[in-house]
Amino acid sequence: MKTILTTLAALAVSTSAAFAHASLATPHAAQGSTYIGVVNIGHGCAGEATLKVRVLIPEGMIAVKPVPKAGWALETVTGAYENSYDYYGTSMTEGVKELIWTGELLDAHFDQFSFRGKLTDTFAVGSTVYFPVVQECANGAERWIEIPAEGQDPHELEGPAPGVKITEPGHSH
């Protein structure tokens, strides 16, 4: 019985930690693939509703298209890429750099914010691509923008950015 209670307690702690920050539903993607990013938002800011969700798109992810949400306004911020990328024979030099959903998500509710884009082959297999997320509320914000240093455990960070581990081309989980 003690083992069962210990296991349940450990599960509760790990589950609450998993929902304590913004995360991506699919944490792996093949190099060069089209990735569907689903950002999980599990709470507001200190009991307040989330009014805005911002997702920064990393350099090297191109042709990004967000999914509109009923009841939420959607804005895309575009700009020049640092590099030129081949997209099915077309050179892409600019595109979406940030996605912004504006609406209301009560603190007691969970929701997902989705987008699609191509992860170019500039991301090395085994690397992690980070998508900084900011949740804005009436009197504050939750900033999931910290990117771990080489070799640092992301769980050590107070506001870790959601990340996607890059796998071999043609390999998915």
- Rounding to the nearest 10 degrees, give the CA dihedral for residues 77, 82, 84, 86: -60
pLDDT tens track of the chain, all 173 residues? Answer: 444 433 333 333 333 334 458 999 999 999 999 999 999 999 999 999 999 999 999 999 999 999 999 999 999 999 999 999 999 999 999 999 999 999 999 999 999 999 999 999 999 999 999 999 999 999 999 999 999 998 898 889 999 999 999 999 975 55
Q: CATH assignment of 21-167?
A: 2.60.40.2230
Q: What is the pLDDT of residue 20?
A: 56
Q: Please, which residues bridge with residue 24 across strands?
A: 39
pLDDT at 4: 42
pLDDT of residue 154: 87
**pTM of the predicted model, to two decimals?**
0.86
> How far is 63 from 40, CA to CA, in rounded Å?
22
Return the percent helix, strand and coil in the chain, to nearest 5.
10, 50, 40
Q: Can you give the residue ranges of every domain in the chain?
A: 21-167
Tokens read off for 29 = 């993607």
